[in-house]
């Protein structure tokens, strides 16, 4: 209760501060305060260097900020923050980069926003919780206008949510990168042809004495067992908590579950349900240890490490097909975006807005694409060679055509993960197991939380 009161007081103080700073006529607060929304707009200009200016900082000087980013991004993130400081030396005195995964950022902000970072990256399925809790700032109008004009429509949509007060669609974050997973493989183990089918991949890995790795017990990946059979997520109910599902064909979903479980058991010892962190390390050979992994399901967050491990043998493609009832069906996945947001309780709301806008810029997206292999969302960046000629980014974009949007997600992760664990369990006998009952239990667990 004390934290909520403190956040509300902080929001009131921000609104008062921005009102005294002048700016445009738009000084109304979002769910967590104005946070810089009073900067004026000019739709004739696009891009950070044309839109941002020192006037956007208002009276803020010598700001000290904290920024969260995942471990594999912190080195580049620090370089980008240092570049931002050089652009505005009078406004910024210190930017501290702290390791925090996007998957956990939302949870940490909800736990204690005042102790959280001023600027942070997060997976976009967390947006509704952050907005409803009032701990995330809406994006300043002129930045929002530029983000909408320069980024892919779906990426902008993933950062947009109805304002709880005005009931209008509002931009609460800025796109950072596409967020999804695809097939990665060692070309000396799995041929491009065999990479097209799940059966071909597993057989190739078995013949080579290598493993195939996916995190079957993680709901983020286990959703494919259901999605491939036609189950879909259709947002949240009016309570913004309860998950809605489509009118799926139960028999087809059950058949998909059985097909996956059958392959997992047929290739026991080859199929390994392990955390994705085991994939880059599994591909890596050392003087004392040969690589153990032949293929796996991973995301663009690990692309740089996998490329370094495999070199010329690096392969990437959309997820394969799987044979269900005699027909090859494309495996469906979850696809979303990672976004950059501003803490509603930041002591330097204007400076935080400008920094977040810079980190979402074409310049920073290009750097993440080239150095980390992250898929850009900026319209100019996606047309550059760094993105178009990258096989991993191409694989991610291709897989996005066969995916379910990672937006307005309810409490599906644990139930879906438990389903995945059951499909791969040694005690599960695919020929006699009651997959229909498992499906019903999973859906009930999602809805009953």
Question: Per-residue confidence of the chain (449 residues) as pLDDT tens digits?
Answer: 444 444 444 443 333 333 333 333 232 333 344 444 455 545 568 999 999 999 999 999 999 999 999 999 999 999 999 999 999 999 999 999 999 999 999 999 999 999 999 999 999 999 989 999 999 999 999 999 999 999 999 999 999 998 988 989 999 999 999 999 999 999 999 999 999 999 999 999 999 999 999 999 999 999 999 999 999 999 888 887 899 999 999 999 999 999 999 999 999 999 999 999 999 999 999 989 999 999 999 999 999 999 999 999 999 999 999 999 999 999 999 999 999 999 999 999 999 999 999 999 999 999 999 999 999 999 999 999 999 999 999 999 999 999 999 988 889 999 999 999 999 999 999 999 999 999 999 999 999 97
Count CB-CB contacts under 10 A for residue 386: 18
In contact, 231 and 262? CB cutoff 8 Å: no
In contact, 181 and 166? CB cutoff 8 Å: no
Fold matches, 2-177+337-391 and 180-335+399-447: yes
Give pLDDT, residue 44.
61
Give pLDDT, residue 387.
96
CB-based burial of residue 171 (10 Å sphere; 0-12 exposed, 13-18 middle, 19+ buried)? buried
* 409 phi and psi angles, rounded to 5 deg: -95, 130
Domain limits of the chain? 2-177+337-391, 180-335+399-447
Q: pTM of the full predicted structure?
A: 0.86
Give pLDDT, residue 85.
97
Task: Give the DSSP H/E element, type plus range, for residue 169.
Answer: strand 169-171
- Residue 107, classed as helix, strand or coil, is helix
CATH superfamily placement of domain 180-335+399-447: Periplasmic binding protein-like II (3.40.190.10)
CA distances from residue 378 to 34, 46, 73, 416 in whole angstroms, order as listed: 25, 12, 19, 32
CA 394 to CA 180: how far, in whole Å? 12
CA 325 to CA 284: how far, in whole Å? 37
Contacts of 53 (CB under 8 A, 6+ apart): none
Give pLDDT, residue 111.
95
Give pLDDT, residue 34.
47
Beta bridge partners of 214: 273
CA triplet 26, 28, 33: central angle to 5 degrees? 125
Over residues 5-31, the pLDDT tens digits come to: 444 444 433 333 333 333 332 323 333
Second CATH level (architecture) for the domain 2-177+337-391: 3-Layer(aba) Sandwich (3.40)
Give, to the nearest 10 degrees, the angle between helix 362-372 and helix 303-310: 30
- Residue 43, classed as helix, strand or coil, is coil
């Amino acid at each position: 209760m004390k934290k909520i009161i403190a956040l509300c007081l902080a929001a009131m103080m921000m609104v008062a501060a921005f009102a005294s700073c002048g700016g445009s006529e738009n000084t109304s607060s979002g769910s967590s305060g104005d946070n810089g929304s009073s900067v004026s707009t000019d739709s004739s200009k696009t891009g950070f260097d044309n839109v941002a200016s020192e006037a956007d900082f208002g009276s803020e000087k010598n700001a000290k900020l904290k920024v969260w980013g995942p471990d594999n991004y912190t080195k580049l993130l620090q370089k980008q923050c240092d570049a931002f400081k050089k652009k505005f030396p009078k406004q910024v005195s210190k930017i501290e980069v702290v390791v925090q995964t996007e998957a956990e950022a939302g949870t940490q902000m909800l736990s204690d926003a005042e102790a959280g970072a001023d600027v942070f990256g997060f997976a976009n399925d967390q947006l509704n919780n952050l907005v409803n809790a009032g701990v995330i700032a809406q994006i300043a109008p002129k930045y929002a206008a530029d983000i909408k004009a320069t980024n892919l429509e779906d990426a902008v949509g993933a950062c947009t949510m109805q304002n709880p007060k005005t009931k209008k669609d509002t931009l609460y974050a800025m796109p950072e990168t596409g967020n999804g997973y695809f097939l990665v493989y060692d070309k000396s183990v799995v041929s491009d042809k065999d990479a097209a089918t799940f059966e071909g991949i597993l057989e190739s890995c078995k013949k080579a004495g290598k493993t195939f790795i996916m995190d079957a017990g993680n709901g983020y990946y286990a959703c494919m067992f259901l999605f491939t059979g036609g189950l879909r997520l259709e947002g949240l109910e009016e309570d913004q908590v309860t998950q809605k599902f489509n009118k799926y064909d139960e028999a087809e979903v059950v058949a998909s579950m059985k097909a996956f479980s059958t392959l997992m058991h047929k290739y026991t010892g080859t199929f390994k349900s392990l955390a994705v962190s085991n994939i880059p390390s599994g591909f890596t050979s050392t003087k004392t240890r040969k690589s153990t992994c032949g293929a796996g399901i991973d995301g663009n967050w690990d692309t740089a490490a996998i490329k370094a491990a495999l070199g010329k043998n690096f392969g990437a493609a959309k997820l394969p097909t799987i044979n269900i009832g005699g027909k090859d069906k494309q495996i469906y996945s979850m696809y979303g975006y990672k976004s950059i947001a501003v803490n509603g309780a930041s002591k330097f709301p204007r400076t935080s807005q400008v920094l977040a806008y810079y980190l979402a810029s074409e310049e920073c997206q290009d750097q993440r694409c080239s150095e980390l292999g992250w898929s850009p969302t900026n319209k100019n960046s996606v047309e550059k060679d760094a993105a178009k000629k990258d096989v991993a980014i191409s694989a991610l974009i291709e897989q996005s055509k066969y995916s379910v949007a990672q937006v307005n997600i309810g409490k599906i992760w644990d139930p879906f993960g438990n389903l995945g664990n059951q499909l791969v369990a040694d005690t599960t006998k695919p020929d006699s197991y009651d997959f229909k009952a498992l499906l019903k239990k999973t859906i009930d667990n999602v809805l009953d939380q």
